[in-house]
């Protein structure tokens, strides 16, 4: 298959494109669906068709991590799903802290999808005395001043910021001081973190603006 250069395949040696990581998540969604539909096997062209991409893109993405298919047969859905989960680090539980129990924070707390992928919100914080001590989705809302000790004790690894924009940087500082190494920021504010901390921003308006761009140039 292909050319055998006689060299040892060095998995994980090459740099992985960000786009590949995003697509791996998408493959997972499709595999889930195919699994539910009773497919035991699938093929690159099937995954590709579902996601409206090229089938060799699928194979190339996977080839960056190993060989998971059988020529002539394709992939076992269950096995491939498991392999992708391994790649993405989803075979373990991740403990997540959420800061800011406003509308969006509450919605994310109630969101089932996180737990399904192994992300458990184990600590919740706010600075509003009216909220502190209350329970939401089964979790007590703690005082933001207790962030560091609680996060340390719970060994929380990921922080989700859902506070108003002006408070976002301050919360990010608290999180990094508490030893958090990955932050997902929903606040419409750009924040900076030490370079050993991975920051990911979710800008809810961004996709709407993208739609706006395409709507306003339709038929041009």
Partner DNA sequence: AAGAGTTTGTGAAATTTTTCACAAAGTTAG
Partner DNA sequence: CTAACTTTGTGAAAAATTTCACAAACTCTT
Residues that bind DNA (CB under 7 A): 1-5, 9, 15, 17-20, 43-45, 53-57, 59-60, 62-63, 67-75
In angstroms, rounded to a whole number, what is the distance separating the alpha carbons of residues 121 and 103? 16
Q: Is the Cβ of residue 71 or residue 166 nearer to DNA in the bound state? A: 71
60 binds, among its own copies, DNA, none (CB under 5 to 8 A by kind): DNA
CB of 1: closest distance to DNA in angstroms?
A: 4
E strand or H helix at 136, and its extent? strand 135-136
What's the closest the beta carbon of residue 128 comes to DNA, in angstroms?
Answer: 40
Residue 80: C-alpha distances to residues 24, 66, 83, 174 (Å) = 11, 11, 5, 39
Cα separation of 69 and 6, whole Å?
21
Q: How far is the CB of 183 from its own copies (least distance, A)?
A: 8
207 binds, among its own copies, DNA, none (CB under 5 to 8 A by kind): its own copies
Judged by the rule CB under 8 A, the positions of this chain that interact with its own copies are 12, 18, 21-22, 24-26, 28-30, 33, 50-51, 87-90, 92, 94, 96, 102-104, 106-108, 110-111, 113-114, 116-119, 157-158, 181-182, 184, 188, 190, 198, 200, 202-218, 220
Q: Is 125:97 a contact under the CB 8 Å cutoff?
A: yes
In DSSP terms, 119 is beta-bridged to: 94
Supply 203's token pair: 């800008």
Tokens 């608290």 -> residue: 174
Structure tokens at 20: 């590949």
Specify the residue, 27 or 119, whose C-beta has the smaller distance to DNA: 27
Shortest distance in whole angstroms from residue 149 CB to its own copies? 22
- Judge whether 69 and 44 are in contact, CB under 8 Å: yes
Q: How far is the CB of 47 from DNA (least distance, A)?
A: 8
In the complex with its own copies, the residue whose CB is nearer, 69 or 105, is 105
CA gap 40, 31 in Å, rounded? 10
């Amino acid at each position: 298959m292909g050319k055998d250069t006689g060299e040892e395949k060095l998995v994980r040696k090459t740099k992985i494109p960000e786009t590949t990581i995003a697509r791996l998540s998408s493959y997972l969604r499709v595999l889930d669906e195919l699994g539910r539909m009773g497919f035991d096997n699938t093929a690159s062209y099937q995954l590709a068709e579902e996601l409206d991409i090229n089938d060799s893109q699928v194979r190339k993405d996977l080839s960056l991590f190993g060989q998971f298919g059988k020529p002539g047969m394709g992939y076992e859905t269950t096995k491939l799903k498991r392999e992708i989960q391994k790649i993405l680090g989803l075979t373990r539980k991740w403990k997540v802290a959420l800061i800011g129990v406003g509308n969006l924070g509450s919605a994310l707390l109630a969101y089932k999808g996180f737990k399904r992928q192994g992300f458990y919100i184990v600590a919740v914080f706010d600075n509003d005395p009216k909220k502190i001590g209350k329970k939401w989705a089964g979790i007590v809302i703690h005082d933001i001043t207790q962030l560091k000790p609680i996060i340390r004790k719970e060994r929380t690894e990921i922080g989700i910021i859902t506070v108003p924009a002006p408070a976002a940087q301050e919360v990010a500082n608290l999180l990094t001081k508490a030893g958090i190494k990955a932050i997902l920021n929903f606040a419409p504010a750009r924040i900076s973190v030490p370079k050993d901390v991975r920051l990911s921003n979710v800008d809810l308006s961004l996709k709407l603006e993208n739609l706006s761009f395409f709507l306003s140039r339709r038929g041009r």
